[in-house]
Amino acid sequence: MAIAPWRATCIQMESRIASNAPSKEAAWEIINGNIANALSKIRAACEGPTPPKLVVLPEFVFTGPQRATAVADWIERACTTIPGAITETLADLCREFGIYIAGNHFEVDPKWPDRYFNSSFLLDPKGEVILRYRRINTGSWTSPHDILDEYRAAYGEEGIFPVADTELGRLAIYPCGEVNVPEITRVFMLRGAEVILHPNNEPLTPIADMAKQCRAFENMTYLISSNIAGVAGFSDTATGGHSMIVDFRGDRIAYEDSAEESIDCSAMIDIEALQAARHDRGMGNSLLRSRFDMYRSYYSTADFYPANALAQTPVVQNEDFAPVQEKAIAQLARSGVLRSE
């Protein structure tokens, strides 16, 4: 059945930072304020002249980043489950307006109560969680790769690279710097994804913008990137903003040319046009000429960042990643990527 074009909107909004709060109660006052701001912005978009079918919120917009907060303290003061307190509040708007809401927050999983994840999620018009992706490439919190054997046993491959087949097309989601890792988008494309949802929290840089357009172009997917407004999470001075929507040709079809709060970055998503382009035999079909067999042996022997490195020892502080990173550097050297002294 054909999929009619539908509208996506980026909710570019500011976020107060819960790690600055002196207590759990004070942190949740900040979190609830951020939630209220998100609900207000989504409602404004849905009640405006061009209501969306799907909205994307920035990365960790409800809490801000953990910064130097110890793991146990951050879990206690700012982390929750998915589904949980944050998604349940958003679910009411999904049901009221019949929309999809994509977002991101720090999540704790009862299977690993002494760890937390940077988790991106998608709610459907019934308010149900239909996607949850936990950030893989990170050095600031636990990744599924850090406990890979346990994680794969618990959730399988579908839990690592999930794709939701919906009335809007096949959707995938990942946050922020994952867009700079080409393999992430490639795997989602190989699993059928047509639209990448991208909760973002980063300062404006030409490199970041180029990465979004490259990932969309080389995988022939749409990419909907909603960035934080105002000051970006890990900085006290650098600003974010400049949300964008990129089509499957790598063209920006919507762009917010400021770091202010805005719901103006909005565009129509045409899945039928994307599929027509993927079926075309012309030079514009980058997927048609992809020769993956040529690269398989290189990836199968690549061993840089070690899997399961934190399976026995949960992170307590960010500094606990240092020994793992040193091992990764040593493996880069052994592989020949780094020159020997």
For 18-54, what is each residue's pLDDT tens digit?
A: 998 999 999 999 999 999 999 999 999 999 999 999 9
Torsion sign across C-alpha atoms 60, 125, 160, 279: negative
> Does residue 1 fall inside a structural domain?
no
The answer to whether residues 189 and 231 belong to one domain is yes
Question: Which among 100, 65, 62, 96 has a CA at the least distance from the CA of 80?
Answer: 62
Segments of the chain assigned E as strands: 6-10, 54-56, 100-109, 112-123, 129-134, 164-166, 169-173, 195-199, 222-226, 244-246, 252-255, 266-269
pLDDT of residue 318: 81
For 126-161, what is each residue's pLDDT tens digit?
A: 999 999 999 999 988 999 999 999 999 999 999 999
Residue that is written with structure tokens 């990419």 in the block: 223
For 212-245, what is each residue's pLDDT tens digit?
A: 999 999 999 999 999 999 999 788 889 999 999 9
The answer to whether residues 273 and 186 belong to one domain is yes
Domain final residue, candidates 266, 288, 310:
288
Which residue range is the domain that position 165 belongs to? 6-288
For 3-23, what is each residue's pLDDT tens digit?
A: 999 999 999 999 999 998 999
pLDDT of residue 246: 99
Phi/psi-derived region of residue 176, left when phi > 0, alpha when psi is between -120 and 50, beta in every other case:
left
**In the predicted structure, residue 341 carries a pLDDT above the cut 70:** no
The answer to whether residues 197 and 252 belong to one domain is yes
Contact between residue 272 and residue 280 where contact means Cβ atoms under 8 Å apart? no
**In the predicted structure, residue 340 carries a pLDDT above the cut 80:** no
Q: How far apart are CA 71 and CA 140, in angstroms?
A: 10
Contact between residue 214 and residue 206 where contact means Cβ atoms under 8 Å apart? no
By percentage, how much of the chain surpasses pLDDT 70?
100
Count of Cβ atoms closer than 10 Å to residue 20 Cβ: 12
For 298-334, what is each residue's pLDDT tens digit?
A: 999 998 999 999 999 888 888 889 999 999 999 999 9
The answer to whether residues 21 and 161 belong to one domain is yes
The answer to whether residues 280 and 323 belong to one domain is no
- pTM to 2 decimal places: 0.97
Mean per-residue pLDDT, 205-214: 94
The answer to whether residues 65 and 164 belong to one domain is yes
**In the predicted structure, residue 66 carries a pLDDT above the cut 70:** yes
Q: What is the CATH number of the domain that holds 33?
A: 3.60.110.10
Cα 154 to its chain centre, rounded Å, is 21
The answer to whether residues 189 and 316 belong to one domain is no
Coil/strand/helix, residue 113: strand
**In the predicted structure, residue 295 carries a pLDDT above the cut 70:** yes
The answer to whether residues 271 and 142 belong to one domain is yes
Mean per-residue pLDDT, 261-272: 99
